[in-house]
Chain A
Amino acid sequence: MSRKRISLRQELPLLVWLVVVWGALWRDFSPGNLLFGALIAVVVARLFYLPPVELGGRFNVLRAVPFALMFLAKVVAASFQVLYLAAAKGPKVVSAVIAVPLRSHSDLLVTATGHVTALIPGSLVVEVDRSTSTLYIHGINVRNADDAAQLRKDVRDTEAGLIRIMGTKAELSALNQEVGA
């Protein structure tokens, strides 16, 4: 098998996640159990080989915590917005499908943006164009061009936040230039 070896550092997030799941399923976080879990995680990662996720190589915790809190607030807002729209507008709600071109071309960031977009208010990913990294988003309660522009800006802001957390250095500097300009 002539697969490219992936370094331990690149695999580490996956291994840590597997160990956490193992501990959580056993509901036992004693060192012995965690060590055994780590052993199984390594064996599983070797046997059931998956193409490595190409991480940006950095993770900014200081940016991640406010983003996570913001995300939680937006999930709450999304649910109440749906409740309001269902109760008040009902069958008369108007929506739109809009294209949002993203800055990043990395699969990880496009996926993460799509996930977050699907969970924040009024947007849902319908189609992804990987070659141009464009998300086609179904927005609820988008009545006119202004609403569409606002939704597009929201999605791009989400992506900017994710780039600040875990984008590559090149993407980050491109983003900083864009904001500065």
Chain B
Amino acid sequence: MNPETLSGDTVIDAVSAVFLVVGALMSLAAAVGLLRFPDLMTRMHAATKPQVLGLFLLLSALGLQMRTWWVWPVLVVAWIFQLLTVPVSAHMVGRAGYRTKHLHPELLSTDELEAVVQQAAGTRGFTDDDEVTDRR
């Protein structure tokens, strides 16, 4: 890249190229986390967070490459949909995982939910009812 050709287009191309590569790396980060973390909860951290940033970077690169303003609202809507859905699905999976005891207690430094669960189970006469809150 010599200075003569360093116009706005090349800058935009370079920025979007960087975004694309980093966005792809975020997917790799999710996969590495999935493979290396010990239990379901920590794997959920790996699965949710890089996804959001990765999609943000990729959509930004797409918006930069298209160079028209009307794609931006579509991209923003797509990203907001993801922002709204990812925490919900992570919460549902996490809750089911906690209830079915898919975690290793020796990897937790404190567990303040367990006492509440025990108490709720005791008062309701169930042995293993993890449902502390809304009974849907």
Binding site for B on A (CB under 8 A): 20-21, 23-25, 27-29, 72, 75-76, 78-79, 82-83, 85-87, 90-99, 114-115, 118-119, 121-122, 124-131, 136, 138, 140, 142-145, 147-148
Report the separation of the CA atoms of residues A28 and B102 in the bound assembly, to the nearest whole angstrom.
Answer: 47
| A-B residue pairs in contact (CB < 8 Å), sample of 19 | A27-B71, A27-B74, A76-B53, A82-B49, A83-B50, A91-B37, A95-B41, A96-B111, A99-B113, A118-B48, A118-B90, A119-B49, A124-B41, A124-B48, A126-B94, A127-B133, A136-B116, A142-B110, A143-B109
Question: A-B pairs with CB below 8 Å: how many?
Answer: 155
Q: Contact check, A124 vs B110: say whether CB atoms are below 8 A apart.
A: no
Q: Contact check, A98 vs B45: say whether CB atoms are below 8 A apart.
A: no
Binding site for A on B (CB under 8 A): 26, 29-30, 32-33, 36-38, 41-42, 44-46, 48-50, 52-54, 56, 70-71, 73-74, 76-77, 83-84, 86-87, 90-91, 94-95, 98, 107-114, 116, 132-134
Report the separation of the CA atoms of residues A124 and B39 in the bound assembly, to the nearest whole angstrom.
Answer: 14
Q: Contact check, A115 vs B83: say whether CB atoms are below 8 A apart.
A: yes
Report the separation of the CA atoms of residues A2 and B93 in the bound assembly, to the nearest whole angstrom.
Answer: 37
Q: Contact check, A79 vs B110: say whether CB atoms are below 8 A apart.
A: no
Residue among A94, A122, A145, A147 with the most chain B CB within 10 A? A94
Report A-chain residues with C-beta under 8 Å of the C-beta of B42.
93, 95, 140
Q: Contact check, B98 vs A127: say whether CB atoms are below 8 A apart.
A: yes
Report the separation of the CA atoms of residues A98 and B110 in the bound assembly, to the nearest whole angstrom.
Answer: 7
Q: Contact check, B111 vs A79: say whether CB atoms are below 8 A apart.
A: no
Report the separation of the CA atoms of residues A93 and B39 in the bound assembly, to the nearest whole angstrom.
Answer: 10
Report the separation of the CA atoms of residues A148 and B108 in the bound assembly, to the nearest whole angstrom.
Answer: 11
Report A-chain residues with C-beta under 8 Å of the C-beta of B36.
86-87, 90-91
